[in-house]
Amino acid sequence: MQTGSFGSGWPDVTTQTSKWTALQASLADLSRKHPDAVFASSMGLEDMVLAHAIFQQRLPIHVFTLDTGRLHAQTLDLIERVEDRYGLRIERVHPDASAVQAHVDQHGAYAFYDSLELRKACCSLRKVQPLRRALQGRSAWLTGQRRDQALTREALPEAEYDTHFGLMKYNPLASWSLEDIGALIQAEDIPYNPLHDQGYPSIGCEPCTRAIRPGEDLRAGRWWWEQKLSKECGLHAGNLKH
């Protein structure tokens, strides 16, 4: 396992055994209920736990990631390492190149710093619209969201109907803590992004992510120039309504 400040001091994994067993069982049940289910992985810590459970059991849950064109080099490298580790492919879903270029030509390459409206427009082009395409025709999708990640996720259910995309949405790790995640990663030697060891608990696009400072919440490094309650990109629009 990689070592560093972020991965130190996790609790004994024996305290997490029941959660891990329950997660494996719930994912297997979900795959039977929704044989066309997909998992949208951000390649973050939580998503690596879910991917490990899916790949380890060889569940028929299709795994993909949104390659926005602005991911960290470490994130792109992690995708390849995961594929080598499990012998399975993670699909890269890309934005419409012409739409992105038109936006950049009109507003500039870093317009997302200028206003919330332009930031959300960029997220829509690079993340929301590609996700909508990837979910089309599916009956369910999975995410690695947890309740203690952000104020907008405090009421996050484990299962909900996603009215934004028109299908069931499952958040199997909603009740898990960061300590639960860390213990599992350590015990199962699950690969993860080395940026987590450099103070990045939440990792998105490179220009929109920074390391957090001591005492800051876990998503403080995402769109750090904005107010806390605006820190959703649109993939989980329902969080803003809870």
User: Is 237 marked as binding a ligand?
Assistant: no
Cα–Cα distance between 146 and 154 in angstroms, integer? 8
Q: E strands within the chain?
A: 38-40, 62-66, 91-93, 140-142, 159-162, 167-170
Which tokens in the block code for residue 92?
Answer: 């890269």
User: Is 6 marked as binding a ligand?
Assistant: no
Choice among 45, 54, 183, 233 that is catalytic:
233
Torsion sign (Cα): 233, 203, 217, 47:
positive
Length of the chain: 242
Cα–Cα distance between 161 and 164 in angstroms, integer? 9
User: Is 231 marked as binding a ligand?
Assistant: no
**Active site (annotated) includes residue 233:** yes
User: Is 122 marked as binding a ligand?
Assistant: yes
User: What is the CA angle 86-87-89, rounded to 5?
Assistant: 100
Q: Which of 116, 165, 114 is nearest to 143 (CA)?
A: 165
Backbone angles phi, psi at 189, to 5 degrees: 50, 50
Is 66 in contact with 168 (CB distance < 8 Å)?
no
Annotated binding site for [4Fe-4S] cluster: 122-123, 205, 208
Q: Which residues are catalytic?
A: 233
- Residues within the annotated binding site? 122-123, 205, 208
